[in-house]
A and B are shown apart, each in its own frame.
Chain A
Amino acid sequence: MAEPTTVRGPVRRPEASTLAERLRPYRVLLASRARAQMQYRTSFVTDVLGTLGAGLAEFAEVWVIFHNVDVLGGLDFTAALLVFALSNLAFALADMVVGHLDQLPTYIRAGQVDAFYVRPLPLLAQLVTSDLSLRRVGRMSVAVVALVVALTTASIAWSWATVALLVLTVVSGTAIFSALFTAAGGLQFFLVDGSEFTNAFTYGGSYAAQQSQQVFPNLLRIFWMFVVPTAFVAYVPAVAILDLPGDPLVPTWLAWCTPLAAAFAWALAALCWRVGTRHYEGAGG
């Protein structure tokens, strides 16, 4: 399976364990997951096409609405496309890396979480590396194409700051969605049968992130900004990148605060995960 371990020195001192060595088990695990998915080629292609189709269907929704209107929530089609692309790219990336935390209720019910606990790696790290959903590249490619089209057709005053903001947005957006998946995972220890509760803010948050936040009533806008901060994934940076006027709640400098939103989301996620795992008492037996 893995390449044979090469031991360089006769005795290895404990302080010689570098970061690379400590991460090695995860690298081996992820590589094996990736290889495993490629074994059944037809099945893998089907899954990729499936997520591609799902991405296209989501795009169709935006497209059909703009077939009927020119402006929605202060955004024209190109601007809406940019918001759609940024949020979908971040969501697909997060879904690929940690989306399978969704499987946690199944593990809890089957008592398989206990098996994770006896292994010498942290629970969350094991769950995250338990899969690497490469099939999400289908959905990701829809987002990337949309992003390229939006960035080339929109009139953007390009500068290094714009490029930096774009990169920062994709990284922070992925972090925000990953945090939501992790928070959902932590809550699953309480919910089990009610696992669908968390879909309200993971998938619901992703759906809200794709929209111009101006369509929402104020209370909902505040919620998507300061409680479940998915407005920062796409809308807030897109408004800054396109230099759009007229949204009093979203000054341009706020776009640079996406890492703060990500940090906040991760603080919530860490809390949920900690409380959840503390609550878990094992499957017995």
Chain B
Amino acid sequence: MATFWLLVRAGFRRHSTYRLALLAGMTTNSVFGLIRASIVLAAVASAGSAIGGYDAPTAVAFVWWGQALLGTVNLWGFQEVGQRVRTGDIAIDFLRPLDPQFAYLAADLGRAGINLIARGAPALLVGALLFDMAWPPGAMGWVAGMVSVALAVVVAFAGSFVVNLLAFWLVEVRGIRLLYMIFGGLLCGLYVPVPWFPDWLRTIAQWSPFPSMLQNPIDILAGRVTGAQVLPTIASQVFWAVALVALGQVVMRAGRRRLEVQGG
């Protein structure tokens, strides 16, 4: 566990080095937040008072939490592990006295932490200053929200890790990554809230891990999901976190047996 925290801190520090990049990310997130908030407000106004349980302040909160969590949760995934498989560097990861999935997860949690503090929180502040925003009801809502964010980071990491590991069989996983990004981006509820989807698309989304990466924490933090509803929201995230981490382990072991690194 001590190693885990050390790696989390290392990930945090590694990504805090690029301060200008964090500021740049926050600026872009804020501009997109302004545009998105304008759109959802116009939509809610056009529909009357609310769409799919979102009134104006909840819809605004949906947008700005989405922008704030965009850098925190690794929605678009990463390519590092896939590239290491491709170059054979992954063999070095296997030599270390640590499970590679565990080590990469720790580093990603550190990355998420610095992004939440330095990139997400300021973007959220911009949103809160410019718009009338809904907040979680009470301290329990905040705690549940933060637990949900942490789970979202784990689910997004574990999903992308599996995609990266497919490089053991496919060598070039760019096509799969593209598919994952496109479906993930749509189904996680970044562009429009999942409850706004037509029934068939909402069913697809709900059976996929993607809402666990963004929609679920946003629902809690925007105060749309409260009280007893919080529990099933977090439970589905726990399910996907466990399922995808386990899948990652299975795929990693199968890939390890297949791995053949040439040269020495």
A216 touches B38 (CB 8 A): yes
In the complex, chain A residues whose CB is within 8 Å of the CB of B231: none
B contact patch SS: helix
Task: Find B46's partner among A54, A67, A69 (CB 8 Å cutoff).
Answer: A69
Contact with A along B2-24 (1 / 0, CB 8 A): 00000000000000001011011
**A167 interfacial by beta-carbon distance below 8 Å:** no
Residue tally, chain A, CB below 8 Å to B:
41
Known contacts A65-B196, A208-B35, A214-B42; 9 additional CB pairs below 8 A are A56-B182, A64-B197, A64-B201, A69-B43, A194-B23, A197-B24, A207-B35, A211-B35, A212-B42
B46 touches A70 (CB 8 A): yes
**B198 interfacial by beta-carbon distance below 8 Å:** yes
B178 touches A49 (CB 8 A): yes
A60 touches B24 (CB 8 A): no
Q: Which residue from chain B places its CB closest to the CB of A46 in the assembled complex?
A: B175
**B186 interfacial by beta-carbon distance below 8 Å:** yes
A72 in contact with B42 given A46-B178, A53-B182, A196-B24 (CB within 8 Å): yes
B174 touches A211 (CB 8 A): no
In the complex, chain B residues whose CB is within 8 Å of the CB of A267: none
**A276 interfacial by beta-carbon distance below 8 Å:** no
In the complex, chain A residues whose CB is within 8 Å of the CB of B191: 57, 60-61, 64
Within the complex, the shortest CB–CB distance from B130 to chain A, in Å, comes to 9
**A112 interfacial by beta-carbon distance below 8 Å:** no
B24 touches A215 (CB 8 A): no
In the complex, chain B residues whose CB is within 8 Å of the CB of A216: 35, 38
B-binding segment of A14-22, A91-99, A151-159, A198-206: A198-206
A68 touches B23 (CB 8 A): no
Task: Find B196's partner among A67, A208, A214, A215 (CB 8 Å cutoff).
Answer: A67
Task: Find A57's partner among B38, B47, B172, B182 (CB 8 Å cutoff).
Answer: B182
In the complex, chain A residues whose CB is within 8 Å of the CB of B30: 200
**A73 interfacial by beta-carbon distance below 8 Å:** yes
In the complex, chain B residues whose CB is within 8 Å of the CB of A70: 46
What is the CA–CA distance of A236 and B136 in the complex, to the nearest angstrom?
A: 40
Task: Find B20's partner among A60, A191, A201, A203 (CB 8 Å cutoff).
Answer: A191
Please give the residue numbers on chain A whose beta carbons come within 8 Å of chain B beta carbons, in ascending order: 43, 46-47, 49-50, 53-54, 56-57, 60-61, 64-65, 67-73, 191-197, 199-201, 203-204, 207-208, 211-212, 214-217, 220
Please give the residue numbers on chain B whose beta carbons come within 8 Å of chain A beta carbons, in ascending order: 18, 20-21, 23-25, 27-28, 30-32, 34-35, 38-39, 41-43, 46-47, 51-52, 172, 174-175, 178-179, 182, 185-186, 191-192, 196-198, 201
Within the complex, the shortest CB–CB distance from B125 to chain A, in Å, comes to 17
B175 touches A50 (CB 8 A): yes
Task: Find B198's partner among A67, A192, A201, A207 (CB 8 Å cutoff).
Answer: A67
A68 touches B47 (CB 8 A): yes
What is the CA–CA distance of A212 and B39 in the complex, to the nearest angstrom?
A: 9
What are 13 A-B contacts with C-beta separation under 8 Å?
Answer: A46-B175, A46-B178, A50-B178, A53-B179, A61-B186, A69-B46, A71-B46, A72-B46, A193-B20, A193-B21, A194-B21, A194-B23, A212-B42
A contact patch SS: helix
A199 in contact with B28 given A64-B196, A70-B46, A193-B20 (CB within 8 Å): yes
In the complex, chain A residues whose CB is within 8 Å of the CB of B20: 191-194
Task: Find B52's partner among A68, A191, A207, A208 (CB 8 Å cutoff).
Answer: A68
What is the CA–CA distance of A194 and B197 in the complex, to the nearest angstrom?
A: 35
A46 in contact with B196 given A72-B42, A73-B42, A191-B20 (CB within 8 Å): no
What is the CA–CA distance of A198 and B151 in the complex, to the nearest angstrom?
A: 31
What is the CA–CA distance of A209 and B91 in the complex, to the nearest angstrom?
A: 47
B32 touches A204 (CB 8 A): yes
In the complex, chain A residues whose CB is within 8 Å of the CB of B175: 46, 49-50
A197 touches B28 (CB 8 A): yes
Within the complex, the shortest CB–CB distance from A67 to chain B, in Å, comes to 5
B186 touches A60 (CB 8 A): yes
What is the CA–CA distance of A199 and B28 in the complex, to the nearest angstrom?
A: 6
What is the CA–CA distance of A72 and B47 in the complex, to the nearest angstrom?
A: 9
Within the complex, the shortest CB–CB distance from A140 to chain B, in Å, comes to 16
In the complex, chain B residues whose CB is within 8 Å of the CB of A73: 42
A217 touches B46 (CB 8 A): no
In the complex, chain B residues whose CB is within 8 Å of the CB of A199: 24, 28
A204 touches B28 (CB 8 A): yes
Within the complex, the shortest CB–CB distance from A231 to chain B, in Å, comes to 12
Within the complex, the shortest CB–CB distance from A68 to chain B, in Å, comes to 5
Point out which of A43, A61, A70 has the most chain B C-beta atoms below 10 A from its C-beta. Answer: A61
In the complex, chain B residues whose CB is within 8 Å of the CB of A53: 178-179, 182
B24 touches A195 (CB 8 A): yes
Q: Which residue from chain B places its CB closest to the CB of A201 in the assembled complex?
A: B31
In the complex, chain A residues whose CB is within 8 Å of the CB of B179: 50, 53
Within the complex, the shortest CB–CB distance from A196 to chain B, in Å, comes to 4
What is the CA–CA distance of A6 and B115 in the complex, to the nearest angstrom?
A: 59
Task: Find B51's partner among A49, A68, A71, A201 (CB 8 Å cutoff).
Answer: A68
